[in-house]
């Protein structure tokens, strides 16, 4: 941190305080921040996979405890979601896509 702010201890100390508040001032805030980051990473991975011709399917309806146990994850290692990845089988037919609300219906431009 100090190196990135060219040795400015005031900036480094401010950043440290901000980080402590944002990421560690409460368990709820800590988990929220971690899950937000993990979700952004998940979406990036899905987009990157698509770019390589690989489809993906995020899942939260999963056996969190079972997976945690099977993969030997520690108590402190929280599972956020599972993403299955694979190549689309063109011989199969997908169910029709469920309706989506339009961009205009869910956003307000300010
Ligand atoms: C956070 C999240 C969790 C999901 N969990 C499941 C799941 O547990 N099982 C499942 O079959 N689909 C789950 N889905 C839905 C599918 O991953 C997928 O989004 C859905 O089939 C619609 O696909 P489409 O957006 O390509 O039409 C989940 C979606 C999201 C965003």
pLDDT in tens, 32-72: 999 999 999 999 999 999 999 999 999 999 999 999 999 99
Separation of CA 50 and ligand 1 centre (Å): 15
In this structure, is residue 65 part of a structural domain?
A: yes
Residues 83-89, mean pLDDT to the nearest whole number: 97
Burial of 33: CB neighbours in 10 Å, binned 0-12, 13-18, 19+: middle
**Distance set, CA 68 to CA 5, 8, 38, 47, 80 (Å):** 39, 42, 16, 25, 11
> Is the per-residue pLDDT at 109 higher than 90?
yes
Separation of CA 4 and ligand 1 centre (Å): 40
In this structure, is residue 101 part of a structural domain?
A: no
Degrees (nearest 5) of the Cα angle 46, 51, 55?
50
Minimal-distance CA residue to ligand 1 atom 4: 59
- The structure tokens listed for 84 are 């299955």
In this structure, is residue 99 part of a structural domain?
A: no
Q: Which domain holds residue 75?
A: 27-93
In this structure, is residue 76 part of a structural domain?
A: yes
The pLDDT score that the predictor gives to residue 43 is 97
Confidence at 110, pLDDT banded by 50, 70, 90: very high
84 lines ligand 1 (CB under 6 A): no
Question: How many domains does the structure of the chain reveal?
Answer: 1
């Amino acid at each position: 941190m100090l190196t990135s702010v060219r040795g400015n201890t005031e900036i480094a100390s401010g950043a440290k305080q901000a980080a402590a508040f944002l990421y560690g001032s409460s368990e709820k805030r800590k988990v929220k921040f971690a899950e937000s980051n993990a979700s952004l990473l998940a979406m990036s991975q899905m987009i990157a996979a698509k770019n390589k011709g690989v489809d993906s399917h995020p899942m939260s309806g999963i056996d969190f405890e079972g997976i945690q146990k099977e993969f030997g994850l520690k108590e402190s290692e929280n599972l956020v979601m599972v993403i299955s990845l694979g190549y689309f089988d063109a011989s199969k037919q997908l169910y029709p896509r469920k309706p989506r609300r339009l961009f205009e219906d869910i956003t307000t431009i300010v």
